[in-house]
């Protein structure tokens, strides 16, 4: 059972599995993981837009499905890209420019 810290500077999350100290900055490598995940989201969106057609077992099924129902319309790609872009901008602003709450 986790013990309660004496000072109010330590905050425990997830039942004591994560411990944070007030005023400790987020490490730079951890901030860069947000950039990496954002880049992967963009890569995934554009690379697999019509499905994984080159996959060894389900590629033929995906190709047949695309032939039957057609590829998604361009406006849908623009909408998804805009939503992903806004999410990435908000996330990166929060990570790199946001201030730590005092509560």
The residue among 28, 34, 51 whose CA lies nearest residue 94 is 34
Q: Any residues with CB less than 8 A from the CB of 82 and at least 6 apart, and which?
A: none
pLDDT along the chain (103 residues), means of 10: 61 78 78 85 79 86 86 79 87 75 51
**Whether the predicted model's global pTM rises above the 0.85 cut:** no
What is the predicted pLDDT for the residue at 86? 92
Residue 31 to residue 95: CA distance in whole angstroms? 6
Q: What is the model's pLDDT at position 103?
A: 47
- Under DSSP, is residue 60 helix (H, G, I), strand (E, B) or coil? helix
CB-based contact 95:34 (threshold 8 Å)? yes
pLDDT tens per residue across span 61-87: 888 888 888 877 778 878 888 998 898
């Amino acid at each position: 059972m986790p013990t309660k810290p004496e000072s109010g500077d330590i905050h425990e999350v997830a039942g004591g599995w994560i411990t944070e100290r007030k005023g400790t900055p987020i490490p730079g490598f951890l901030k860069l993981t947000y950039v990496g995940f954002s880049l992967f989201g963009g890569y995934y969106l554009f690379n697999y837009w019509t499905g994984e057609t080159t996959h060894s077992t389900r590629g033929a099924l995906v190709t047949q499905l695309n032939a039957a129902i057609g590829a998604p319309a361009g406006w849908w790609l623009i909408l998804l890209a805009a939503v992903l872009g806004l999410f990435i901008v908000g996330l990166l602003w929060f990570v790199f420019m946001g201030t730590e709450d005092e509560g």
